[in-house]
């Protein structure tokens, strides 16, 4: 069984061929024509499927995408202006009509979680949280091996918990949201300020690892903000595992040990025993695999 798998982001569409065992036979990417709108982005997927069909006999199409998604209808129910006009786009219907194949569609962080559950860091955990750190903070809740979606398919918006009341203005219109302080973008801004417009996030971690006190203080404050949000999530959901994805996983044990120390310091002892913190193992591949996992288990 060969599935055309796609991961739609605001910058790139990553895509490939994944079989029903989770093996990736081919993968590539193209720039997302995001500013041309959601309808154009769907037309990109249609064109890519048709191109793949010249080389492979496809049994279906599995799509991971940014935005809140009704996975039953395969429809985007809410998306930011990163892809204008994406809200309301019925991806499943449009693709099925165009390529005459079965299609599944889901939110990208849900797909990350299921990809890591199937083939990555969460293989031994049926109750876990998945968090992705990038421009914002995405979340997914896996309960007894299945994604918990909420009453309107929007569960897991961890980035919009209030961390600091009356704090920084968030893109959602509220103030003090978690992602304004604990996302990778928030730390990148701190790095930019630290280097007075030069160097990068990687440079900040490089300095901190060499013992530069100011760089380490910036990172420690960021870790403290991440841990404050995790404390709430852990006390609410009592997971056995929190899987963390995004660029932060590149920092390995240096960052993971800081996170473990801060989180264990803040949560009640009764929540510590079953809990593990891990970085995601499969990177962008997890989104492709998670989308396919939903097709083969539907």
- Collect all residues with Cβ–Cβ distance below 8 Å to 212 and sequence separation of at least 6: none
Question: Taking the chain, what is the end-to-end CA distance rounded to the nearest angstrom?
Answer: 14
- Altogether, the residues listed in the chain come to a count of 298
Question: Count of CB atoms within 10 A of residue 36's CB?
Answer: 14
3-state helix, strand and coil shares in percent for the chain, rounded to the nearest 5: 45, 25, 35
| Distance, CA of 110 to CA of 126 (rounded, Å) | 14
Average pLDDT value for residue range 239-267:
92
Whose structure tokens read 């009356």?
166
pLDDT of residue 198: 67
How many Å separate Cα 10 from the centre of its chain? 13
Report strand pairing: 12-19 vs 137-143: unpaired
Which string of DSSP letters, residue by residue, matches 137-150? EEEEEEETTEEE--
Q: Which two tokens stand for residue 124?
A: 């031994």
Q: Which residue has the higher pLDDT, 231 or 248?
A: 231
The SS3 assignment for 119 reads helix
Domain ranges of the chain: 2-111+284-297, 123-279
CATH of 2-111+284-297, one of 2.60.120.10, 3.40.225.10, 3.30.420.40, 1.10.3720.10: 3.30.420.40
Closest by alpha carbon to 105, among 142, 135, 144, 62? 62
pLDDT digits (tens, 9 = 90+) for 136-180: 999 999 999 999 999 999 999 999 999 999 999 998 899 999 999
Rg (Cα) of the chain, in Å, rounded? Answer: 19
Region 227-239 average pLDDT: 97
238: left (phi over 0), alpha (psi -120 to 50) or beta: left
Amino acid 203: pLDDT: 87
pLDDT at residue 27 tops 90: yes
Tell me the CATH number for domain 123-279.
3.30.420.40
The pLDDT of residue 101 is 97
pLDDT digits (tens, 9 = 90+) for 65-100: 999 999 999 999 999 888 999 999 999 999 999 999
* Fold match flag (2-111+284-297 vs 123-279): yes
Indicate whether 238 pLDDT > 90.
yes
Strands 75-78 and 68-70: antiparallel
Q: How far apart are CA 87 and CA 91, in angstroms?
A: 11
Q: How far apart are CA 1 and CA 22, in angstroms?
A: 10
Structure tokens at 7: 């991961």
pTM of the entire structure? 0.93
């Amino acid at each position: 069984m060969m599935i055309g798998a796609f991961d739609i982001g605001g910058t790139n569409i990553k895509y490939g061929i994944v079989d029903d065992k989770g093996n990736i036979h081919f993968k590539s990417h193209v720039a997302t024509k995001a500013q041309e709108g959601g309808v154009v982005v769907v037309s990109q997927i249609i064109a890519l499927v048709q191109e793949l069909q010249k080389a492979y006999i496809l049994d279906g199409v599995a799509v991971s995408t940014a935005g809140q998604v009704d996975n039953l209808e395969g429809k985007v129910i809410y998306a930011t202006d990163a892809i204008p006009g994406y809200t309301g786009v019925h991806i499943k219907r449009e693709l099925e009509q165009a390529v005459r194949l079965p299609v599944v569609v889901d939110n990208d962080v849900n797909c990350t979680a299921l990809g890591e559950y199937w083939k990555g860091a969460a293989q031994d955990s049926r109750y876990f949280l998945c968090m992705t750190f990038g421009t914002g903070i995405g979340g997914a809740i896996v309960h007894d091996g299945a994604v918990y979606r909420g009453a309107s398919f929007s569960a897991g918006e961890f980035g919009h918990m209030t961390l600091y009341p009356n704090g920084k203005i968030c893109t959602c219109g509220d103030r003090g949201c978690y992602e304004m302080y604990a996302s990778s973008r928030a730390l990148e801004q701190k790095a930019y300020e630290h280097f007075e417009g030069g160097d990068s996030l990687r440079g900040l971690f490089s300095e901190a690892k060499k013992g530069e006190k100011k760089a380490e203080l910036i990172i420690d404050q960021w870790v403290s903000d991440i841990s404050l949000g995790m404390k709430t999530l852990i006390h609410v959901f009592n997971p056995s595992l929190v899987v963390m994805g995004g660029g932060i996983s590149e920092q390995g044990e240096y960052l993971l040990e800081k996170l473990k120390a801060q989180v264990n310091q803040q949560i009640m002892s009764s929540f510590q025993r079953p809990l593990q913190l891990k970085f995601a193992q499969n990177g962008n591949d997890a989104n492709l695999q998670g989308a396919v996992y939903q097709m083969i288990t539907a």
